[in-house]
Amino acid sequence: MFVCVPPKLAISDSMQLMKGRSSHKVQREFPQLKKRYWGRHFWGSGYFSTTNGAITENIVLQYLEKHIKNPTDASL
């Protein structure tokens, strides 16, 4: 996932929001999961974050597009 987070928003807050909303949405769409994850966390507690540094957004998007088309291509 490639997201842009404004500098005034902490990455941890962004991840908490994304994980919370996506968990709620998935469990609403698939009610059988709610029973399985009752009292437990749907997502793991960790996450990874990095910046795109010296490369452009376009290069990142091209990489992701190729990865989506061929998710098993480890030569990237």
pLDDT at 10 over 90: yes
- Pairwise CA distance, residues 15 & 42, whole Å: 13
What confidence score (pLDDT) does residue 76 get? 44
Kindly report the pTM of this predicted structure.
Answer: 0.63
What confidence score (pLDDT) does residue 13 get? 92
Q: Which residue has the higher pLDDT, 18 or 75?
A: 18
Cα separations in angstroms, 1 against 24, 30, 47: 19, 22, 12
- Pairwise CA distance, residues 73 & 76, whole Å: 7
Give mean pLDDT, residues 5-18: 90
Over residues 24-64, the pLDDT tens digits come to 898 888 888 877 776 677 888 888 888 887 888 898 888 88
Q: Check if the beta carbon of residue 66 is closer than 8 Å to that of residue 73.
A: yes
Q: Reduced to 3 states, what is the DSSP secondary structure of residue 68?
A: helix
